Amino acid sequence: MSKTYTNPETIGLHAGWRKDDNTNSVAVPIHQTTSYQFDNTDHAANLFALSELGNIYSRIMNPTCAVLEDRIAALEGGVGALAVASGQAASAYAIQNIAKNGDNIVASSHLYGGTYNQFKNVFSDMGIEVRFVDPSDPQNFADATDDKTRAYYGEVLPNPSFEVFPISEVADIGRPLGIPLIVDNTAAPVICKPFDHGAAVVIHSTTKFIGGHGTSIGGIIVDSGNFDWEAFPERQPALNNPDPSYAGAVWTEAVKPLGPIAYILKARTTILRDMGAAMSPFNAFMFIQGLETLALRMREHSSNAQKVSEYLSSHDSVERVAYPSQMDGYAKDRADKYLSKGNGALMGFEIKGGVEAGKKFIDALEMLYHVANIGDSRSLAIHPASTTHSQLNEEELLSAGVTPGYVRLSIGLEHVDDIIADIDQALAKI
Ligand code: PLP
């Protein structure tokens, strides 16, 4: 691949792959193999020493996963990526790569419920403290920072509040301190490019829009290459001190000849190697199929969702609609600043009548699926307080933006008239 493309429609079809050199196959083959024959002992030694990059074992790298990694790195404008088994593995590894027992990160409180649980419970059991702050005021990130803060974390289009994260505002606070901003861009691929606004690392649950068809679980971590880890040896010891888990390698020095990929190469060769949540080549193949139409789908999702949000906003049974284009104040300003190609598929709304009305609405739907997922080509609905966010207490629910009668929609690719007709008949039954 010699040419570099910048348009997401073209990247989704061409980045990182032209054809198979042995067979001329155009579709990316599924390399369903665990291991790779070394040319000779020197070749094997070079691969293990990272003086040469190449395939060793499919827990650490795989040629089908590599095409997906190259394509998503190109889509986000990064220098490298690491495919893993789920979005949950992506958020965990993105942080474990630079934070350990005794360290902390500062995270937005507007997070997917599963991420919140991971941070609040599993990370605290591991000795990594997560300090949750309200992202409406970026200064909250600065106020929660101390010498042991290794990263800031947020969700670009957070589920379920849908108030866009202040990417450049928080990245600008962290960068002079040596603190990278890691963002979850699961809900806004193509429509937001966090690296253009100063984020250092992006993660995705590829399970959602990238897969796009509700078939496969996966995740990915993307390195922008724009963060100067080496300039902050005390703030970022994991990348600047000798690493006993890789023969004393100092990642920022050892990796220099290969480009600004210290963060993502360390994640692959230590965290993924040791924790093991690798993406299967078959799932990588499915995500590559999804990427081919991602840009087109995001356009159509956004167009359908815009019309649904307008319909809901004018409906008598609806108390409020949470969709970026329907917001005002700072939330609208951020949506306008960061969502350059549509406002996405996701929205929430509060039905008059609270919990009971919300449940009746869900039960009355005929076409929309009632499932715990987002980003499918089909339209989906769920009641977060009794499902995805049910482990949170009342205070945590409110800080995550979930009220009792709140319904979340993931608007799909059916004809918009059919989507609105199904919502309309369900609202008539509450
Ligand atoms: N991030 C976001 C925004 C999500 O919505 C989800 C899942 O719903 C995840 C991460 C976790 O992804 P996965 O289900 O692939 O582990």
In the chain, which segments carry CATH 3.40.640.10? 23-290
Residues of the chain with CATH 3.90.1150.10: 295-428
- Closest ligand 1 atom, residue 187 Cα: 3
Q: Is any atom of ligand 1 closer than 6 Å to the C-beta of 155?
A: yes
**Model confidence pLDDT, tens digit, residues 64-121:** 999 999 999 999 999 999 999 999 999 999 999 999 999 999 999 999 989 999 999 9
* pLDDT < 70 stretches in the chain: 1-2, 400
Task: List the 380-382 sheet strands across, edge first.
Answer: 318-322, 346-351, 406-410, 380-382, 369-370
Q: Which of 117, 165, 204, 208 to mutate to test ligand 1, by most ligand atoms within 8 A of the CB atom? A: 208
What pLDDT score does 86 carry? 98
Q: Which CATH superfamily is domain 295-428 in?
A: Aspartate Aminotransferase, domain 1 (3.90.1150.10)
Question: Is the Cβ–Cβ distance between 191 and 339 less than 8 Å?
Answer: yes
The per-residue pLDDT for 50 is 86
pLDDT of residue 1: 47
Please give the Cα distance from 87 to 224 (Å, whole number): 18
Residue identifier of the C-alpha nearest atom 5 of ligand 1: 112
Q: Phi and psi for 346 in degrees, rounded to 5?
A: -95, 140
Could you give the 3-state DSSP secondary structure of residue 55?
coil
For the Cβ of 77 lying below 6 angstroms from any atom of ligand 1, the answer is no
- Return the ligand 1 atom nearest residue 89 CA: 16
For 414-424, write each residue's pLDDT tens digit: 999 999 999 99
Is residue 114 in contact with ligand 1, taking CB distance under 6 Å?
yes
pTM of the model: 0.97
What pLDDT score was predicted for residue 354? 81
Place of tokens 């190697």: 273
pLDDT value of position 396 = 76
CA torsion sign for 260, 266, 269, 275 is: negative
User: For residues 376 and 212, is the Cβ–Cβ distance under 8 A?
Assistant: yes
Query: What b/e sequence results for 285-304 when a residue is b if at least 16 CB atoms lie within 10 Å of its CB, and e otherwise?
Result: bbbbebbebbbebbbbbbeb
Beta strand residue intervals within 8-136, DSSP E = 80-84, 104-108, 129-133
Please check whether the domain covering 23-290 is classified as CATH 3.40.50.720: no
* DSSP state string for 359-409: HHHHHH-SSSEE-S--S-SS-EEE-GGGTTTTTS-HHHHHHTT--TTEEEE
Q: List, for residues 234-257, the tens digit of each pLDDT value.
A: 999 999 999 999 999 999 999 999
* Cβ count within 10 A of residue 257: 8
